[in-house]
A and B are shown apart, each in its own frame.
Chain A
Amino acid sequence: MDHFSFNLGKPRHEMTDRRNIFQVDIKPRSESSTDPITRTQRPIVTGTSVIALKYQDGVMLAADNLASYGSLARFKDVERLYPVGEFTVIGASGDISDFQYTKHLLDAEMVKEYYINDGHVLGAPHIYEYLSRVMYNRRSQINPLWNAYVVGGYHNGEGFLGYVDLLGTTYKSSSIATGFGAYLAQPILRKVVEGHENTLSEEEAINAIETCMKVLFYRDARSLNKFQRAKITAQGVEITQPYSVDTEWSFAEGQ
């Protein structure tokens, strides 16, 4: 019973203040249970754009090897293209630690499916579905994995290309670009790809990817001219070693 009449009708924290000693506005915050629950509210170490397109043999993706810490180019040897199974690659932009957790989740799932040993192997559409459910579930708990993922693969005789982000938003398209790439690379990719998904050669696809990576390096201050390219075809996954494209800066030298 509260004997202080000025406290009548005022709220009271029953877990920590059973005798109603403290007024609500001067309650000490030492009890950990009274602290607000904190969640990922911003990404810390981040990767920039991932770009991808469909072509006649399957799907091609590219992402640079930079992990930024704000405006600091912190790690320059991070691989943001990750193979899952024999015919799928996921490309990650956004928070790198959340990406590492996602890699762990997907690997665990692949192992689980392998143990079942029923002849079924998770293909690109299944991994895409799983990932989209994880992402939507986390956003629904207001505790998102701060990423935009591109899932590229080859399944049932055709290329697969899908997008999943921290809100659980999903879509499939013949060309996809995340982050700054959505502004800078997607128009280039659409011009090359739309309507030519089944006729675009590997050489043309590589050309388009390299043009886009060059444009991104010129204009995206969080990018790096050192990137990897993955292709997923009927033959499986192939991810290149990190490489660069030639750039031209003389126009900026004031000559």
Chain B
Amino acid sequence: MNSTAFCDNTLTSGPTGHGFYPYEANGGTAVAIAGEDFCVVASDTRQSNGYLINARYSPKAFKMSDKAVLANSGFAADGNALVRRLGQRMQWYRHSHEKEMSITALAQLLSNTLYYKRFFPYYTQVLLGGIDENGVGVVFSFDPVGSYGSEICRAAGTAAALIQPFLDNQVELKNMQIGEKPRLSLDRALCIAKDAFTSATERDIYTGDYLEIYIIKGDGVTIENYPLKKD
């Protein structure tokens, strides 16, 4: 009986029509691009609620290890709770195995963690970017209940529909009339990420303020920060 409490009428309509809805959309966009030996994970830092801007710098991308960065978009409180829980599981893993969890293992763990809450989900879209066991750049994307897949590039969040076609074209070179496809350089990936966000900021009111870019390479993670429009 308790498991159905979430969808029965005690939740959505009290005697006065008031009710408690446990979710909120805090907006924001994340992009992840995998290269041959690097990965770029970029996200804006705005947190919104409807037409209100809560905060201009409230990052939603987190360094999980020297080889993995997680970015999420959706309900910020769930996103933060998820990242903390994952961080703790990674620490337990370090203590029991005396090594860092690989990104493929982390991806599976993340999927299980999300699915565990299948009937009261973490309302968040997750991108996981980094370097795998072979030193190759990888991106995994997840839906709120844990179904996931490996990709070359992915946009998630409020401006995903604006950015994804751009990435398909510029990163994966879809619909290009060219024979040999050149390999993607880090500089090119960074340019694409920045352009994607400056353009998305123009049209999506939930994206803006600052762009935070994580660059994951074999020798570690670096962060860059760029201003976006604040309107």
Contacts and interface: CB of A to CB of B under 8 A. Distances in A.
Contacts of A171: 47, 54-55, 58, 76
User: What secondary structure prevails in chain B residues at the interface with A?
Assistant: loop
A20 interface: no
14 contacts: A37-B10, A41-B18, A41-B19, A139-B77, A142-B6, A142-B22, A163-B54, A163-B55, A167-B23, A169-B49, A169-B76, A171-B54, A173-B57, A186-B52
A227 interface: no
Closest 5 CB pairs of A and B: A171-B55, A168-B77, A41-B14, A42-B18, A173-B55
A136 B80 CA distance: 10
A168 B78 CA distance: 8
A169 B18 contact: no
B55 A172 contact: yes
Given A41-B14, A41-B19, A173 B24 contact: no
A133 to B, nearest CB: 9
Interface residues of A, number: 24
Interface in B40-68: 47, 49, 52, 54-58
Interface of A: 36-42, 136, 139-140, 142, 144, 163, 166-173, 182-183, 186
B178 interface: no
A170 B55 CA distance: 10
A144 B54 contact: no
Nearest to A171: B55
A15 to B, nearest CB: 10
Contacts of A40: 20
Contacts of B14: 41-42
A167 B10 contact: no
Given A36-B10, A170-B77, A142 B20 contact: yes
Contacts of B49: 169
Contacts of B26: 169
B173 interface: no
Contacts of A173: 54-58
